[in-house]
Structure 1
Amino acid sequence: MNIGKKYIGIISILMASVLWGTTGVAAQFAPEVSALAIGSGAMGIGGLLQSVIALPCLKNYQGKLYSQKGWIILGALAVMFYPLAFYGSMRVASITVGTVVSIGSAPFFSAVLENIMDHFKVTLQWVIGAFMGVSGIILLCFSAQHTLYSPISFARISLGILLGLLAGFTYAFYTWVARHLIHHEIPSKAAMGSIFGVGGLLLLPVLLITGGTYLNSWSNLSVGIYMATIPMFIGYLCFGYGLSFVPTSMATLITLLEPVIATFLAVIIVGEKFSGFGWLGIGLIFLCLVCISIPNNKK
């Protein structure tokens, strides 16, 4: 792989991770809007916007897209379920726990998918990076559970973790599908536009049923507009572009930066407390990012 293109991909995915890290805190400014409405509004509208700007590309590659229609439908279903599980996890457990479990579990699901579907063998470098990254998110999660202003029950933490694992799997799956389409000579814009466009259509009924609260105040509506256009639309444009240059397993490891951003914002803006374990966790996550960014000349 061309080293320059690899770093372009890494930077693009890092930019996406920073934008995604703002979603949990943004959702807190619309507390009366349910997790289902937040998730369906953000990913549904953001996905449809992706398909709109990709229309010329979608037309040019409609033949190849049709040949991959089965994977596109499966990817779209993952796009549909991901935000509902992700925002549900954050509302049930906390911003930090929901983000950490959802994003932290994705690299393992990605590695399993690549191993099964692509016969991808993880490198020692990936294993070391994954160990540091996951150790870091466990410490972040431990810190959040024990230092919140309002204690969270074991039942809520457990439900939040289960929803987070579902989010991690669906995130890894639609990321793999997008990468799969790109490997079949479909540009990232068309790949992401097709998956997210169909996923956005699937989320529209959920938005119509649950999204009435967006109209209750300008604050609620502003949160909805921000979530759909900045983290979801622009963020996934960056992510899709990055996927053109890095494998799925590396991309999901890079997005471990998202829980770090989410935790900092939760502490500074929302008031979630933070302990020394959290700082150690953040340090390990950054070491993970450095580790997987080092050029590996082995094929």
Structure 2
Amino acid sequence: MKVSVLFVLLAAILWGTTGTTQAFAPEEAAPLVFGAVRMAVGGITLLLFAALRGQLKHSGWPVKTLIIAALSMAFYQPFFFSAVSLSGIAVGTVVAIGSAPIIAGCLEWLVFKKVPQTKWWIATAAAIAGVSLLFIPSASSGGSFLGILLALGAGLSFAVYTLTSKKLLQKQKPEAVTGTVFFLSAVLLAPLLFLYDMSWILSVPGMAVSLYIGVIATGAAYLLFTTGLAKVPASTAVTLSLAEPLTASLLGTVLVRESLPLVSWAGIALLLLGIFYISYQPKKNKINAEQVKA
């Protein structure tokens, strides 16, 4: 497995801890403002990290691409949390995360004229089927039409962020891309922090979950994701990110003591199969590639 692929998978695993983290947050922490806090702490952390490493540059930024990347990450937060609120965790998560790889592949095809490989289609189909099975037991109530539309907006936002970040990486270092994009996104979401009661963040649990969700589950996770993205196709990276719901489900089983039915375990197996298939590279291909270079 390539190190870059491992970075993307580790990022997805960290993202999968956000739901469990929110469960330990004070009751006053509304989902919408929790996302804004996540971006604020994560954005400042990433920007400081990039600055300390001397990676920030004032020139060489494709301004239009940078703005689109920042907007897409900013929009993802309210889209996703609102979708989950309106249509439920199951339906909202399946539509948002499940639609992202398809949208990313289609956008690569339409915008960059790059048709995804057959391997991507097979892995994506298996992974999406797995995610669907994973949430079917809790999705019987269905979801509102508006909630589904918002979830699709979240999937589109994540796909656009991945594609635009891929383009920014051609000009800037991963630390600079994540730091700048997330800081700008945090600025865009800052008004939400003045619309809610933020006293909860001064409590010990509030500070703990805020630091974890911002520094680890956002800062470290997206730094890993962007670093891996430099050498992984955008459509492949989005498919690998489907490890997020897998992690969330396993944490729910172990920490929250939720029981998973057989259909959910079947979904986990399909999800793992899709991730393994898109990550695996036969040694023959590596040897042939080395011979060609020589």
Alignment TM-score, normalising by the size of structure 2: 0.88
Gaps of 5+ in 2: 290-294
Q: Which of 234, 239, 253 in structure 2 is aligned with 1:248? A: 234
Q: Provide the C-alpha distance between the structure 2 equivalents of 1:123 and 1:140, rounded to a whole number of angstroms.
A: 26
**Separation in 1, partners of 2:215, 2:169:** 24
Structure 1: runs of 5+ lacking an equivalent: 1-5, 147-152
Aligned-pair CA distance for 1:128:
0.7
Asked if 1:275 corresponds to 2:261, the answer is yes
Is residue 40 from structure 1 mapped to residue 29 from structure 2 by the alignment? no
CA RMSD of aligned residues (A): 2.3
Contact 2:91 2:142 (C-alpha < 8 Å) held by counterparts: no
Contact (CA 8 Å) 1:24, 1:87: kept in 2 or not?
no
Shift of 1:74: 1.2
1:43-62 deviations in whole A, cap 9, x for unaligned?
Answer: 22202221222133222xx2
* Deviation, structure 1 residue 256: 0.8
Q: Secondary structure at the match of 2:136?
A: helix
Deviations 1:121-164 (A, max 9, x none): 11111111111111111111212324xxxxxx4445x5543332
1:293 Cα deviation after fit: 1.3
Kindly tell me: are residues 165 and 227 of structure 1, through their superposed partners in 2, closer, same or farther at Cα, counting changes over 3 Å? Answer: same
CA separation in 1, counterparts of 2:256 and 2:79? 21
Q: Residue 20 of structure 1 contacts residue 232 of structure 1 at CA under 8 Å; is this kept in 2?
A: yes
Offset, 1:91: 4.0
Specify whether residues 160 and 277 from structure 1 end up closer, same or farther in structure 2 by C-alpha distance, changes over 3 A only. farther
Matched letter for residue 7 of structure 2: S
The CA deviation at 1:269 is 3.3
- Contact residue 77 and residue 154 of structure 2 kept, 8 A: yes
Equivalent in the alignment of 2:175 = 189
Aligned partner (choices 190, 214, 218) of residue 204 of structure 2: 218
The answer to whether residue 49 in structure 2 is matched with residue 53 in structure 1 is yes
Matched to 1:128, the amino acid is: I
Deviations 1:46-90 (A, max 9, x none): 02221222133222xx2211xx11111111111111122223334
The separation in 1 between residues aligned to 2:89 and 2:21, in whole angstroms, is: 10
Listed as ranges, the matches of 1:11-160 within 5 Å are 11-30=6-25, 31-55=27-51, 56-59=54-57, 62-65=58-61, 68-146=62-140, 153-155=141-143, 158-160=145-147
8 Å CA contact 1:88–1:163 kept in 2: the answer is yes
Judged with a 3 Å threshold, the aligned counterparts in structure 2 of structure 1 residues 155 and 172 are, in CA distance, closer, same or farther, namely closer
2:292 corresponds to: none
Q: Distance in 2 between matches of 1:276 and 1:159?
A: 31
Q: Is it true that 1:233 corresponds to 2:219 in the alignment?
A: yes
Write the distance in 2 (CA, Å) between the matches of 1:93 and 1:213: 29
Equivalent-residue separation in structure 2 for 1:83 and 1:231 (angstroms): 14
In the alignment, which of 173, 179, 185 is matched to residue 166 of structure 2? 179
Work out the percentage of aligned pairs sharing the same amino acid: 32
What displacement does 1:208 show?
2.9
Q: Distance in 2 between matches of 1:213 and 1:130?
A: 42
- Given that 2:86 and 2:143 are in contact with CA atoms closer than 8 Å, whether structure 1 keeps it comes out as no
What residue identity is the alignment partner of 2:73? V
Higher helix share: 1
User: How many equivalent residue pairs?
Assistant: 282
CA-CA distance at 1:32 after TM superposition: 2.6
* 1:199-248 superposed Cα distances (whole Å, 9 cap, x missing partner): 11111121232251533743233222211111001111111111111011
Q: CA offsets per residue over residues 19-54 of structure 1, 9 Å max, x none?
A: 110101111222331111111010222022212221
Distance in 2 (alpha carbons) for counterparts of 1:91 and 1:126: 31
1:242-267 superposed Cα distances (whole Å, 9 cap, x missing partner): 11110110100111111011112223
- 3-state secondary structure, aligned to 1:24: helix
**Residues 76 and 24 of structure 1: CA distance in aligned 2, closer, same or farther (over 3 Å):** same
Q: Which residue of 2 aligns with 1:149?
A: none
Q: TM-score, normalised by structure 1?
A: 0.86
Give distance in 2, aligned partners of 1:101 and 1:123. Answer: 23
Counterpart CA distance in 1 for 2:197 and 2:160 is 26
